[in-house]
Amino acid sequence: MFDMDRIHRIPQFGTRVGRSAHPLRVMDRKGTFPARGTATGHRYHTEADALRFPGGGDVAPQGLTVVCCRVSSRGQQDDLKRPVSAMEAYGPGAGMAVDEWRSEVGSGLHGKRKVFLSLRERIEEREIAHRPVAHRDRPTRFGFDWFEHFATQHGCTITVVNQESLSPQEAM
C-alpha cells in the first residue's frame, strides 16, 4: 500500500502527477493547491496530496510500457524468441508502443530475479504505466493476483495477452 506520509519535493511531485514544477509553484502561490512547508522554508507535497490532486495523480501519465519475456531455464533460452515475437506482433495490433524490452532466464518460483525485482521497483516508483504479459504465470508462477494488485496500486496496468501459444507446455 502507499506510504501516505512519503514526502515529494516539488519537481518529484510534478513527475508523480504529470505536471512540471512551475505550474505547481504557481498553484501553491495562488492557494489553489497549496504545498506544505518545512521550518526552513522548503516546500513539499505528500503521497496523500497526490491522491487528491485535481485530475487524479493515481496513474503515471508519462510512464513507460515495458514488456519482459521470461523462460524458466537456460535450456529453454532458444524458446525465448517465440514469446518475444508474439508480443512484438501483439503490440501494433493493440495500439501499443513498447518503450522497453526486457528478457530473463529464471524460474517463476524464484521471487528474487534481478529483472523482476528491477521492474517491481520501477512500478513502485511509478516509472512504468503499462506492463503487458504473455500469460498470467510469466511475471511470477504463483502470486499473480498479488502482483497485479501491487501494480494497480502504483498506477500500472497489467494486460494479459493470454495466448496459449505463448505459454510453454505444463512442466512434467
Residues identified as active-site: 72
Place of cell 497485479: 148
What span, in angstroms and rounded, lies between the C-alpha atoms of 90 and 87? 5
Task: Please state, in angstroms and rounded to a whole number, the distance separating the CA atoms of residues 104 and 133.
Answer: 13
Q: Which three cell numbers stand for residue 37?
A: 512547508
Other beta carbons within 10 angstroms of residue 6's beta carbon come to: 13
Q: Within its chain, how far is the Cα of 11 from the centroid?
A: 20
Compute, in degrees rounded to 10, the torsion defined by CA atoms 10, 124, 156, 1: -100
